[in-house]
Chain A
Amino acid sequence: MKIVIATPLYPPDIGDPAPYVKELAKRLAENDEVTVVSYGRLPEKVFGASFVSIEKRHPLPLRLLRFTIALFRATRKADVLYAENGASVELPAGIVALLTKKPLVLHIGDKVAQDKAESGVLLRSIHTFAHGRARKVIQIIPKTRPEILPFTKRPDAEFDAYERSWNTHIHELEEIFTHGT
Chain B
Amino acid sequence: MEHNINNKDAWERYCTHELAEILPILEELGFVADKEQPHLGGERYLMQAVTTESGKKLILLGREKDGNKRVVIKVASDPHGVRELLHEQVCRETLAKMNFAYDVFLSPRMMIFTKRGRFSIAIQEFIANDRPFIERPLPEQFSFALKALKAQEGARATTYGHRRLIKRTFGEKTASDYVRTFANFKTHISQELPKEKELHAILEEGALLLRAESEIIEQYSGFLTHTDFVPHNFRIADDHIYLLDHSSIRFGNKHEGWARFINFMALYNPELEHALVQYVRDNKTEEELHSLTLMRVYRLGELIYYYTNTLAKSSGDLLLLNRARINFWSEVLRATLRNERVSPEIIQGYTKMRDTLRDAKEKERQQGLH
- The answer to whether B156 and A151 have CB atoms under 8 Å apart is no
Contacts of A59 in B (CB 8 A): 160
- The answer to whether B158 and A147 have CB atoms under 8 Å apart is no
Interchain nearest-CB distance for A91 vs B (Å)? 16
Residue among A11, A12, A13, A149 with max Cβ neighbours from chain B (10 Å): A12
- The answer to whether B279 and A56 have CB atoms under 8 Å apart is no
- Whether B138 sits at the interface, judged by CB under 8 Å, is yes
Residue among B156, B159, B215 with max Cβ neighbours from chain A (10 Å): B159
Residue among A11, A41, A149 with max Cβ neighbours from chain B (10 Å): A149
- The answer to whether B282 and A148 have CB atoms under 8 Å apart is yes
- Whether A150 sits at the interface, judged by CB under 8 Å, is yes
Distance A45 CA – B260 CA, assembled complex (angstroms) = 27
- The answer to whether A13 and B278 have CB atoms under 8 Å apart is no
Interchain nearest-CB distance for B291 vs A (Å)? 9
- The answer to whether A150 and B219 have CB atoms under 8 Å apart is no
Distance A42 CA – B220 CA, assembled complex (angstroms) = 9
- The answer to whether B275 and A56 have CB atoms under 8 Å apart is no
- Whether B132 sits at the interface, judged by CB under 8 Å, is no
In-complex Cβ contact of B218 among A15, A42, A58, A147 (8 A): A42
- Whether A48 sits at the interface, judged by CB under 8 Å, is no
Chain A interface residue count, Cβ-Cβ cutoff 8 angstroms: 23
Residue among B160, B218, B279 with max Cβ neighbours from chain A (10 Å): B160
In-complex Cβ contact of A57 among B153, B160, B215 (8 A): B160
Chain B interface residue count, Cβ-Cβ cutoff 8 angstroms: 24
In-complex Cβ contact of A150 among B142, B153, B218, B220 (8 A): B142
- The answer to whether A150 and B158 have CB atoms under 8 Å apart is no
- The answer to whether A40 and B160 have CB atoms under 8 Å apart is no
Contacts of B282 in A (CB 8 A): 147-148
In-complex Cβ contact of A58 among B160, B219, B220, B288 (8 A): B160
Contact string against B for A residues 138-174, beta-carbon threshold 8 Å, 1 for contact and 0 otherwise = 0000000101111110000000000000000000000
CB within 8 Å for A13 and B156 given contacts A42-B215, A150-B275: yes
Distance A150 CA – B139 CA, assembled complex (angstroms) = 8
Contacts of A56 in B (CB 8 A): 158-160
Contacts of A13 in B (CB 8 A): 156, 158
- Whether B287 sits at the interface, judged by CB under 8 Å, is yes
Distance A59 CA – B275 CA, assembled complex (angstroms) = 42
- The answer to whether A149 and B279 have CB atoms under 8 Å apart is yes
- The answer to whether B139 and A40 have CB atoms under 8 Å apart is no
- Whether A60 sits at the interface, judged by CB under 8 Å, is yes
Interchain nearest-CB distance for B73 vs A (Å)? 36
Distance A60 CA – B162 CA, assembled complex (angstroms) = 12
- The answer to whether A44 and B278 have CB atoms under 8 Å apart is no
- Whether B356 sits at the interface, judged by CB under 8 Å, is no
In-complex Cβ contact of A60 among B160, B254, B279, B287 (8 A): B160
- The answer to whether A57 and B219 have CB atoms under 8 Å apart is no
Distance A147 CA – B150 CA, assembled complex (angstroms) = 13
- The answer to whether A12 and B219 have CB atoms under 8 Å apart is yes
Contact string against B for A residues 50-61, beta-carbon threshold 8 Å, 1 for contact and 0 otherwise = 000000111110
- The answer to whether A44 and B159 have CB atoms under 8 Å apart is no
- Whether A14 sits at the interface, judged by CB under 8 Å, is yes
In-complex Cβ contact of A147 among B220, B275, B283 (8 A): B283
In-complex Cβ contact of B219 among A14, A15, A42, A60 (8 A): A42
- Whether B285 sits at the interface, judged by CB under 8 Å, is yes
- Restricting to B276-308, which residues have a CB under 8 Å from any CB of A? 278-279, 282-283, 285, 287-288
**Which partner residue on chain A sits nearest B279 by CB separation?**
A150
Contacts of B139 in A (CB 8 A): 150-152
Distance A177 CA – B219 CA, assembled complex (angstroms) = 32
CB within 8 Å for A57 and B142 given contacts A14-B154, A42-B219, A150-B279: no
- The answer to whether A57 and B154 have CB atoms under 8 Å apart is no
**Which partner residue on chain A sits nearest B272 by CB separation?**
A150
- Whether B163 sits at the interface, judged by CB under 8 Å, is yes
Q: Top 8 nearest A-B pairs by Cβ distance?
A: A42-B219, A148-B282, A151-B139, A150-B275, A56-B158, A56-B159, A59-B160, A147-B283
12 contacts between A and B (CB under 8 A): A11-B285, A42-B219, A44-B285, A56-B160, A57-B159, A57-B163, A63-B160, A147-B279, A148-B279, A149-B142, A150-B139, A151-B138
- Chain A interface residues toward B at CB < 8 A: 11-15, 39-42, 44, 56-60, 63, 145, 147-152
* Extra pairs beyond A42-B219, A63-B160, A148-B282 (12, CB < 8 Å): A12-B219, A12-B288, A14-B156, A39-B158, A41-B219, A42-B215, A44-B285, A57-B160, A147-B282, A149-B279, A151-B275, A152-B139
